[in-house]
Amino acid sequence: MSCSFDLEDGFNGPVCGLDEAGRGPLAGPVVAACVYVPATVRDLPFWAEVNDSKKLSAKKRDTLFDLIQTHCVCGIAEASVADIDQMNILRASLHAMSKAFDLAGGTADWLALVDGNQKPKLPATIQTVVKGDSKSRSIAAASILAKVTRDRIMADLCAQYPVYGWSKNAGYGTAIHMDAIEKHGVTPHHRTSFAPIKKALGHAA
C-alpha cells in the first residue's frame, strides 16, 4: 500500500493523522503532530511528495512543512524531558499526541489515524495504523511536522551545547554524542530514565 488518502476516504467525516518524532533519542523532548487535511486541498500537487518523513531530505521536509501548515488544520505539541522521565517515553509520546489533537481542534466526530499500535487518550474514534506514515498522507504529514519541529528544537539546543552534535544527531546515541557524554557529562536536556544516561550518572541501568 503506497502513501495515499485511501484510509481517509473510507470514513464519512473529518479524518486526522497523528504521529510523533523523538522516541529513541537520549536527549530532548518528544514531539507529536496532528494534521487534518480538508478534502478541498487533497488535489494540490505537493501531496504527491508527502511521505514518511524519514524518507525525505531535510530540504524537502522544510518545504512540505510550510505547505502543510498553510493548507491544513494542524496541532503540534511536545512532552518535555521531565515528562518523559516521569511517565516513560511511550506514555509521554501518547500524551503529546493528545495535546496535538486538542490544539488542532479535534472533536468527537473525527476519526484519528494514529501511527503505530498504541492509542492515545482522545475523545474521538481511533484507528491505529502500523507503519502509517508510509500508508496515510495525513499521518505522513503529521510525521513531517513532528520531525521538522523536533529537529529545529535540537538545533537550537545544539547552539547552547555544541559538543554533543545535536544539530546532526538529533539527540540519538551516536558515537560523537556518547563520546561527549563521557567527556563532558550530561545536560538538563538528557533523559535520565534512559539506560545510557543512567549509566553516565552512575546509577544502575
Q: What region, left, alpha or beta, does residue 65 occupy, with left being phi > 0 and alpha being psi -120 to 50 degrees?
A: alpha
Average pLDDT over every residue of 151-175: 97
**Number of other residues whose CB lies within 10 A of the CB of residue 119:** 14
Q: Which residues are annotated as a binding site?
A: 19-20, 115
Provide the whole-model pTM: 0.96
Which amino acid type is present at position 122? L
User: What is residue 56's three-state secondary structure?
Assistant: coil
- What residue ranges in 22-62 does DSSP mark as E strands? 30-36
111-135: per-residue pLDDT in tens? 999 999 999 999 999 999 999 999 9
User: What is residue 138's three-state secondary structure?
Assistant: helix
pLDDT of 204 higher than 80? no
Q: Which residues are annotated as a binding site for a divalent metal cation?
A: 19-20, 115
b/e sequence 84-96, b meaning 16+ C-beta within 10 Å = bbeeebeebbbbb
Would you list the domain boundaries of the chain? 6-200
CATH class of 6-200: alpha beta
